[in-house]
């Protein structure tokens, strides 16, 4: 795409380019001049630079420039840049780093991708070739680490989640709440966008790592620690809130019958995998680990590569109306196994640590009930799925 055509499309799609910069005076002017070939809708955030950045920016009188008196971090720079872009009425912002690793002539790649995306509810991340010569080993490792946790938290597989060359949908960004201020912000923003059902996708871009002029402000120990803390929190939210929320939304929308037909019978998983998913769900749902059922079943389903939707659905076997019966049955099984006959009078339970005996009886019984029920449900469902598959195969060949 030639620059003039790209300029027209950038205008029609209401896109600006956001450049956060901090002490990159060796490459900053080249980046700005490269972007100006495609658009003058540019917002630059000077994040408290102490080098020659201020003099370089003084050469440009037609750009929007935000200046911090002290360095606040890339996350703050991007957040302030987004606020300014939204205030100016832009719908999308392309972010490009000022350290020279990105090529401004890749801007049309983002514009083309946006133009072809039907809903425009999308966030594009430029995918670098991390295998090419000159890419630092720490960057390649950090990217793989980030890709894994992004997949765990969103279910979306990407090849590059750390590239700063991106296109953001500002109408979504303006409604999100952010807490991070440094490099980890670029992880927080894509995860929370994905949680809002934004399509997060990679598109191929060029990359240049020139150690003679590139200045990286990434501090391996401090920033990696910040990223690890953020991912720990995001994983917790994923297991405790996001996955259960998505399941219940899906379940409510489809109804029991439709859910069973589409997500259970319609799943392309093997009968064995579906049966094991049901067994896992039933087992976790009947254990005495109240309050942790959702977290455990989703984590184990992911870890064991089972069907998360099926496992989560059957973990809800301990719905409120069934709880008294589950507790009663678990207690009776525990009494049989331990050879005891517990009293259920309140005054006797609260004396001489009798409640400990009752708790032990219940725990032993509940795990036994969970194991037996999981085996029964697993075997029956496995046979059912085998028969269902055979009938479908016969019908398709009939």
Per-residue pLDDT tens over the stretch 31-47: 999 999 999 999 999 99
Q: Is the pLDDT of residue 129 over 90?
A: no
Which of 278 and 268 is assigned the larger pLDDT? Answer: 278
Provide the phi-psi class of 58: left if phi over 0, else alpha when psi is between -120 and 50, else beta: alpha
Integer Cα distance of 314 and 151 in angstroms: 24
pLDDT, mean over the chain: 86
Pairing status of strand 199-204 against strand 122-127: parallel
Strand order in the sheet with 64-67: 64-67, 42-46, 15-21, 92-95, 166-169, 122-127, 199-204
Integer Cα distance of 135 and 130 in angstroms: 6
Which of 160 and 214 is assigned the larger pLDDT? Answer: 160
* Residue range(s) of every CATH 3.90.550.10 domain in the chain: 3-218
How much of the chain exceeds pLDDT 70, in percent? Answer: 85
Which of 361 and 191 is assigned the larger pLDDT? Answer: 191
Q: Is the pLDDT of residue 394 over 70?
A: no
Integer Cα distance of 48 and 356 in angstroms: 61
Integer Cα distance of 33 and 31 in angstroms: 6
Q: What is the pLDDT confidence band of residue 350, given thresholds at 50, 70 and 90?
A: very low
Question: Can you list the positions of beta strands (E) in 2-98?
Answer: 15-21, 42-46, 64-67, 92-95
Least-confidence region, from 302-306, 321-325, 348-352, 355-359: 348-352
Least-confidence region, from 155-169, 281-295, 335-349: 335-349
CA quadruple 151, 157, 163, 164: dihedral positive or negative? Answer: negative
The H or E element containing residue 180 is none
Using DSSP's 3-state secondary structure scheme, residue 193 falls into: helix
Residue 261 tokens, joined: 């037909």
Q: Is the pLDDT of residue 344 over 60?
A: no
Q: What is the pLDDT confidence band of residue 346, given thresholds at 50, 70 and 90?
A: very low
Which range scores top for mean pLDDT: 90-94, 147-151, 183-187, 346-350? 90-94
The topology (CATH level 3) of 3-218 is: Spore Coat Polysaccharide Biosynthesis Protein SpsA; Chain A (3.90.550)
Q: Are 186 and 108 in contact (CB under 8 A)?
A: no
Q: Is the pLDDT of residue 242 over 60?
A: yes
Q: Is the pLDDT of residue 356 over 70?
A: no
pTM to 2 decimals? 0.72
Whole-number pLDDT of residue 130: 64
């Amino acid at each position: 795409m030639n620059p003039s055509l790209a300029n027209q499309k950038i205008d029609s799609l209401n896109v600006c380019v956001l450049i956060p910069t901090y002490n990159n005076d060796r490459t900053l002017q080249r980046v700005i001049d490269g972007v100006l070939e495609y658009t003058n809708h540019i917002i630059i955030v000077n994040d408290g630079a102490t080098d020659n950045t201020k003099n370089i920016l003084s050469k440009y009188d037609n750009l929007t420039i935000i200046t911090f008196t002290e360095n606040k971090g890339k996350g703050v720079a991007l957040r302030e840049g987004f606020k300014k872009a939204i205030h100016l009425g832009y719908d999308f912002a392309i972010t490009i780093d000022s350290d020279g690793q990105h090529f401004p002539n890749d801007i049309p790649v983002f514009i083309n991708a946006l133009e072809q995306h039907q809903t425009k509810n999308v966030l594009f991340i430029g995918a670098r070739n991390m295998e090419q010569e000159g890419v630092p080993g720490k960057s390649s490792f950090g990217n793989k680490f980030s890709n894994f946790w992004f997949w765990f938290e969103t279910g979306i597989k990407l090849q590059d989640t750390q590239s700063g060359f991106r296109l953001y949908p500002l109408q979504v960004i303006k409604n999100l709440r952010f807490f991070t201020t440094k490099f980890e912000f670029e992880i927080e923003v894509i995860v929370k966008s994905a949680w809002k059902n934004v399509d997060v996708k990679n598109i191929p871009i060029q990359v240049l790592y020139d150690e003679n002029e590139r200045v990286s402000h990434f501090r391996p120990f401090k920033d990696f620690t910040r990223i690890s803390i953020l991912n720990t929190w995001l994983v917790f939210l994923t297991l405790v809130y996001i996955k259960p929320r998505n399941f219940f939304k899906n379940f409510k929308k489809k109804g029991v019958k439709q859910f069973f037909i589409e997500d259970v019978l319609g799943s392309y998983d093997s009968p064995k995998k579906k049966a094991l998913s049901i067994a896992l769900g039933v087992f976790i749902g009947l254990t005495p680990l109240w309050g942790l059922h959702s977290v455990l079943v989703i984590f184990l389903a992911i870890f064991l590569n089972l069907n998360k939707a099926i496992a989560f659905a059957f973990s809800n076997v301990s719905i409120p109306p069934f709880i008294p019966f589950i507790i009663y049955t678990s207690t009776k099984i525990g009494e049989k196994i331990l050879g005891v006959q517990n009293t259920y009078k309140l005054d006797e339970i609260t004396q001489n640590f009798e409640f400990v005996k009752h708790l032990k009886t219940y725990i032993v019984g509940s795990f036994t009930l969970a194991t037996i029920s999981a085996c029964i449900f697993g075997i029956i469902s496995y046979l059912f799925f085998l028969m269902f598959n055979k009938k479908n195969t016969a019908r398709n060949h009939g």
